[in-house]
Amino acid sequence: MERKENHTIINQSNRLYITIGGIALIVIGALILLDRWLKTGWLALAALPLMGILFLIRGIRTRELKMIIPGAILSGLGLGIIIFLGIIFETSWTNRIGLGLLAFGMGWLLVPMLTLQYSNQTAWWALVPGGLICGLGAFFIYSPMQPLDLVLYLSVSLGLVFLIWGIVCHLFRLIIPGCLLITIGPSIYLAWGTPGDQNILTRTGIMLVGFALGWLLITILSRTITSKFIWWPLIPGGVLAMVGWGVYIAGNPNNAAIFIGNTGSIGLILFGIYLLLLRKGIQG
């Protein structure tokens, strides 16, 4: 009896996919024929996002993960292709690539949002490709196409993804790489990607102190998911800060006091933000 029920469920699922596939093919074929008649040059391209929307509608109604995921991705991909071809925005090729990537990345980011609301299982993993694609899109839009700019955008976007995922799901193992990535990219960029007459020692000191702030951030954000501070990240953070300050002083002793004061102020700002958040009761 149980085997018969399982067989019935499988048959119903297969009929569902056949129905959706048939509808999708009909829509695509109709749009292609209509585009040949109207000669718009873009109507056939609407088939991909429309097919994604069909999957989304069905997935939301049935609360099926395997329908919501391809629906969101296809919708973002189709919109991204339309933007890239310049049908919506007439702008430079770099902006079109960037905006297209942002649309595609938003499709991926839509997956965990919809599965959280409409499915029994949340696809948090989709944040990773979504964040990377959006960071790459921002690189094409806002960057002069320098390699260190790419490191900056990808590092910050991926770091934000891990932080959001870790804080929402209370996973400290994701908060650690999130804090490090969100500071490593800016530290490398500030040290080596900005113009100036700073020597190697000075730039290395800036980079190491930036790394140290990432470890400090781990300790601060640990209270978002635990009842007590997790102190051990201050050990590598303190070592990096001391080494970084020492290297900076060796390279630029005249501005050492200003640099140490500025980085110390950043640490105070981070703890101040934590205290404000703590007042709102974010700690676990």
In a domain, 158, yes or no: no
The stretch 204-224 carries a mean pLDDT of 89
Distance CA 235, CA 218 (A): 11
Whether the predicted pLDDT of 283 surpasses 50? no
Q: Is 229 exposed, middle or buried (0-12, 13-18, 19+ CB in 10 A)?
A: middle
In a domain, 6, yes or no: no
The stretch 109-134 carries a mean pLDDT of 93
In a domain, 154, yes or no: no
What is the CA 167 to chain-centroid distance, rounded? 14
In a domain, 103, yes or no: yes
Q: ∠199-202-208 over CA atoms, to 5°?
A: 140
Picking from 124-133, 159-168, 275-284, which range would have the lowest pLDDT averaged per residue?
275-284
Domains in the chain, number: 2
Residue 2 pLDDT grade (very low, low, confident, very high; cuts 50, 70, 90)? very low
Whole-prediction pTM: 0.80
List, in order, residues 6 or more apart from 203 with CB less than 8 Å away. 191, 192, 251
Whether the predicted pLDDT of 42 surpasses 70? no
Distance CA 142, CA 72 (A): 26
The residue among 142, 167, 190 that closes a domain is: 142
Residue range of the domain that includes 211:
180-284
- Dump pLDDT digits (tens) for 159-193: 999 999 999 999 999 999 999 999 999 999 988 98
